[in-house]
Chain A
Amino acid sequence: MNIHEYQSKMLLGRLGLPIPRGEVADSPEAARMAAERLAAEGVPAFVVKAQIHAGGRGKAGGIRRADTPEAVEAVARALLGRPLITPQTGPEGKLVRRVLVEEAVSIVAEYYVAVLVDRSLQKPIVLASPAGGVDIEEVAARRPEAIFREVLWDLDRIHPYQARRLGLRMGLQGTRLAEFGRIVQGLVEAFWRYDAMLVEVNPLVALTDDRLLLLDAKVVLDDNALYRHPDLAALRDVEEEDPLEVEAARARLSYIRLDGNIGCMVNGAGLAMATMDIIQWAGGRPANFLDVGGGASPEQVAQAFRILMADPRVKAVLINIFGGILRCDRLATGIVTAAREVSVRVPMVIRLEGTNVEEGRRILAESGLNFMVAHDMEEAARKVVELARGGGS
């Protein structure tokens, strides 16, 4: 689960990591008052940062400096209530609903630090680079020697020598080196404390007075672990997510909107991707990825069906199910239930195979629903592509 920058910083600040002084605001007036409070603490200048779930905000004009509370208000007015378009948002951008008002600081160096799991090592690792702030992926591609890593052999802690080694390789010395060690330890602690998939600080900055500060931070939480973190689950901002994807997530379905016109409902992520592959192979374009999962109930299948039918771009639907945990009879019951409630306005191709397949086929056949049966994936793909083009029946 993605959360906002201000939320990430709040979580990290709570563990004693050094974050800039700041407040989140949802109106220009609130932004000015936040700046006034910071000014009262002696903050001389401010930065206003648009809070959306996407990177690339700086270059898109979503992060701006302001020297007075009045200027903060003006900047917030320019940002709030408008979409911000960055390379990661897509052409429609993302609506800015909140801004983070922070103290402006004098930066002398920018670093990169991240904690995440390396799947092939099956261990968490810390990645760090002295080339922070800029496009770190480009640094990794062009100058891999500027990226350093330490493997957490003990899983939940980085040994002091490892943190020191990282800092030294990055060219840190003296108080900065010691402070860097503390920060890396804190980030590893946060990674475990919050059951994170990723803790990324870019940039970690050194200030003129030698202090280090987490100028920008991103924490990605593990949806599967949210059951033991009700406080973190509450950080979800559903407004940042696609409404159909939110609805799908509520029904514990995995749904991703794509730009084609053939709706797909498949059980299992691998088969769902293979179904998208074969639709494309047959000359069509999938409208979505929809995995109803291994143990879907008839209710979930019905919900999946409603989500498919709610997408106006869908011109034809392919249901491809190979029953294992998800028994074909359950799937068929779900489809029949949903089709009775939702008007089925597009042609459907159904391909069923696997556990309880005869029972599933019987339920569908006796339902009176209008659909085409396909006996294998290739036939199913050819048929649905033809139907989406408006041919055949």
Chain B
Amino acid sequence: MSILVDATTRVVVQGITGKEGRFHTEQCLRYGTKVVAGVTPGKGGQVLRDLPNTDGVPVFDTVEEAVRKEGANTSLIFVPAPYAADAILEAADAGVSVIVCITEGIPPLDMLRVVEFVRRRGARLIGPNCPGVISPGRAKVGIMPGHIHRPGFVGVVSRSGTLTYEAVFQITQRGLGQSTCVGIGGDPIIGSSFVDILQLFRDDPETRIVVLIGEIGGTAEEEAAAYIRETAFPKPVVAFVAGQTAPPGRRMGHAGAIILGGRGTAEAKVHALRAAGVAVVDNPARIGEAVWIVARSWGWG
């Protein structure tokens, strides 16, 4: 088992005819992901040939057609920011159950409406502004370099993109592998939080250790820490919080500080996570080592 994506995942790529969409469709197919359709409004009827592991990927004008004709159950979005919120809404409306939005730069006020609608439709949104989801050896629905991953029992959840690759790479170099890696995205308003993904990892028998990669700003790490503590999370968690040496970011006036009330700094996050029993590493080059030590101490190494 894994979470969110597996061998039954059938992907529709929204924005498939764009440069990034096309490149990463090819990368996902090469990894073995079933990309069954693409959507680009106005380009319906085309079939993209010369792609690996497929006879061709049909392009539709709407997500609804991709779901009806090709059985797509997961969407991967590369649509440019001004149109991306609309693309997410369309995917949720078409009944896609997992929506992964890579696009960066969607206005947060647009996302407020989007997350409400997605939730109402019972779909799960990952991102935006994220690297996507990969269950190594089964499916890659995102832009992460597949070759650094390896099937295993470490679940990875992260607000970052490239820092996630760094962590995964270190875990793989230690001879361990990953059950599923989820980049939840770095934007202020995202579809799934650390807590949402921790809940999925809790119920996934394949995941034995969770790695959580946080960063300064917001309170998602503090909320994750509270969840781990209050629910006596049954699996060991290793964490890193980026930005321990970063200067205070751009101020959101006084109001931002009032909402945070002292939370949000790297120090506060590290403290909350440690208080919840999480093994927090200070050196980002030692994430893999920390996971390896935990695995060995449990006799899994």
Pairwise interchain contact A294-B243, C-beta atoms closer than 8 A: no
Pairwise interchain contact B284-A278, C-beta atoms closer than 8 A: yes
Pairwise interchain contact A377-B284, C-beta atoms closer than 8 A: yes
Q: Which of B2-10, B63-71, B109-117, B292-300 contacts A (4 or more CB under 8 A)?
A: B109-117
CB of A371 within 8 A of chain B? no
In angstroms, Cα B259 to Cα A220, docked, is 16
Given A117-B112, A224-B105, A294-B104, A270–B169 Cβ distance below 8 Å?
A: no
Pairwise interchain contact A136-B261, C-beta atoms closer than 8 A: no
Pairwise interchain contact A202-B254, C-beta atoms closer than 8 A: yes
Q: Which of B92-140 contact A (CB under 8 A)?
A: 102, 104-110, 112-113, 115-116, 131
Pairwise interchain contact B162-A295, C-beta atoms closer than 8 A: no
Contacts of B161 in A (CB 8 A): 268, 270-271, 294, 324-325
Contacts of A227 in B (CB 8 A): 82
Nearest CB in chain A to that of B216: its residue: A273
Pairwise interchain contact A281-B242, C-beta atoms closer than 8 A: no
Given A116-B256, A274-B240, A353–B20 Cβ distance below 8 Å?
A: no
CB of B33 within 8 A of chain A? no
CB of B277 within 8 A of chain A? no
In angstroms, Cα B46 to Cα A168, docked, is 62
Cβ distance A376 to chain B, nearest Cβ, rounded Å: 6
CB of B199 within 8 A of chain A? no
CB of B232 within 8 A of chain A? no
Pairwise interchain contact B223-A120, C-beta atoms closer than 8 A: yes
Pairwise interchain contact B284-A198, C-beta atoms closer than 8 A: no
Cβ distance B84 to chain A, nearest Cβ, rounded Å: 11
Pairwise interchain contact A124-B158, C-beta atoms closer than 8 A: no
What's the interface size class on B, roughly? Answer: 35 or more
Number of cross-chain contacts by CB at 8 Å: 192
Given A202-B254, A220-B253, A378-B283, A293–B104 Cβ distance below 8 Å?
A: yes
CB of A197 within 8 A of chain B? yes
Interface string of B234-245 (1 = CB under 8 A from A): 000000101111
Interface string of A70-84 (1 = CB under 8 A from B): 000000000000000
Contacts of B104 in A (CB 8 A): 293-295
Q: Which of B175-216 contact A (CB under 8 A)?
A: 186, 188-189, 213, 215-216
What's the interface size class on A, roughly? Answer: 35 or more
Nearest CB in chain B to that of A252: its residue: B105
CB of A355 within 8 A of chain B? yes
Could you say which of A220, A293, A294 has the most chain B C-beta atoms within 10 Å of its C-beta?
Answer: A294
Pairwise interchain contact A324-B145, C-beta atoms closer than 8 A: yes
Interface string of A355-391 (1 = CB under 8 A from B): 1010000000000000000001110010000000000
CB of A160 within 8 A of chain B? no
CB of A140 within 8 A of chain B? yes
In angstroms, Cα B215 to Cα A289, docked, is 14
Contact of A225 among B24, B109, B244, B257 (CB under 8 A): B109
Contacts of A276 in B (CB 8 A): 243, 245-246
Q: Determine the main DSSP class of A at the interface with B.
A: mixed
Given A270-B161, A274-B163, A116–B252 Cβ distance below 8 Å?
A: yes
Nearest CB in chain A to that of B255: its residue: A114
Contacts of A286 in B (CB 8 A): 245
In angstroms, Cα B174 to Cα A376, docked, is 13
CB of B247 within 8 A of chain A? yes
Pairwise interchain contact B259-A273, C-beta atoms closer than 8 A: no
Contacts of A55 in B (CB 8 A): 253
Contacts of B75 in A (CB 8 A): none
Contacts of A294 in B (CB 8 A): 102, 104, 143, 161
Contacts of A256 in B (CB 8 A): 247
CB of A311 within 8 A of chain B? no
Pairwise interchain contact A117-B165, C-beta atoms closer than 8 A: no
Cβ distance A284 to chain B, nearest Cβ, rounded Å: 10
Cβ distance B289 to chain A, nearest Cβ, rounded Å: 10
In angstroms, Cα B242 to Cα A192, docked, is 32
In angstroms, Cα B116 to Cα A343, docked, is 52
Interface string of B1-31 (1 = CB under 8 A from A): 0000000000000000000100010010000
Contact of B282 among A202, A281, A321, A377 (CB under 8 A): A281
Pairwise interchain contact B162-A270, C-beta atoms closer than 8 A: yes
Pairwise interchain contact B166-A119, C-beta atoms closer than 8 A: no
Contacts of A140 in B (CB 8 A): 254, 257-258, 261
Cβ distance B132 to chain A, nearest Cβ, rounded Å: 9
Contacts of A355 in B (CB 8 A): 27, 145
Cβ distance B138 to chain A, nearest Cβ, rounded Å: 19
CB of B81 within 8 A of chain A? yes
Q: Which of B140-186 contact A (CB under 8 A)?
A: 143-145, 148, 158-166, 169, 186
CB of A130 within 8 A of chain B? no
In angstroms, Cα B104 to Cα A224, docked, is 9
Nearest CB in chain B to that of A202: its residue: B254
Pairwise interchain contact A155-B113, C-beta atoms closer than 8 A: yes
Pairwise interchain contact B109-A120, C-beta atoms closer than 8 A: no
Pairwise interchain contact A274-B284, C-beta atoms closer than 8 A: yes
Nearest CB in chain B to that of A139: its residue: B258
CB of B218 within 8 A of chain A? yes
In angstroms, Cα B256 to Cα A218, docked, is 13
Pairwise interchain contact B255-A289, C-beta atoms closer than 8 A: no
Pairwise interchain contact A274-B109, C-beta atoms closer than 8 A: no
Pairwise interchain contact A270-B159, C-beta atoms closer than 8 A: yes
Given A155-B112, A218-B253, A322-B169, A136–B258 Cβ distance below 8 Å?
A: yes
Q: Which A positions have Cβ atoms within 8 angstroms of B?
A: 55, 88, 112, 114, 116-120, 122-125, 127, 136-137, 140-141, 144, 147, 155, 192, 195, 197-198, 200, 202, 218, 220, 222, 224-225, 227-228, 256, 258, 266-271, 273-281, 286, 289, 293-295, 321-325, 353-355, 357, 376-378, 381
Lowest 8 A-B CB distances belong to which pairs? A270-B160, A268-B162, A270-B163, A378-B285, A114-B255, A274-B284, A273-B242, A225-B107
**Assuming A273-B216, A277-B245, what are 17 further A-B pairs, CB within 8 angstroms?**
A114-B258, A116-B256, A117-B108, A119-B259, A122-B116, A267-B162, A268-B162, A270-B213, A271-B160, A274-B163, A275-B284, A277-B244, A295-B20, A355-B27, A357-B145, A376-B285, A381-B285
6 contacts between A and B (CB under 8 A): A198-B255, A224-B108, A270-B186, A270-B213, A323-B145, A378-B286
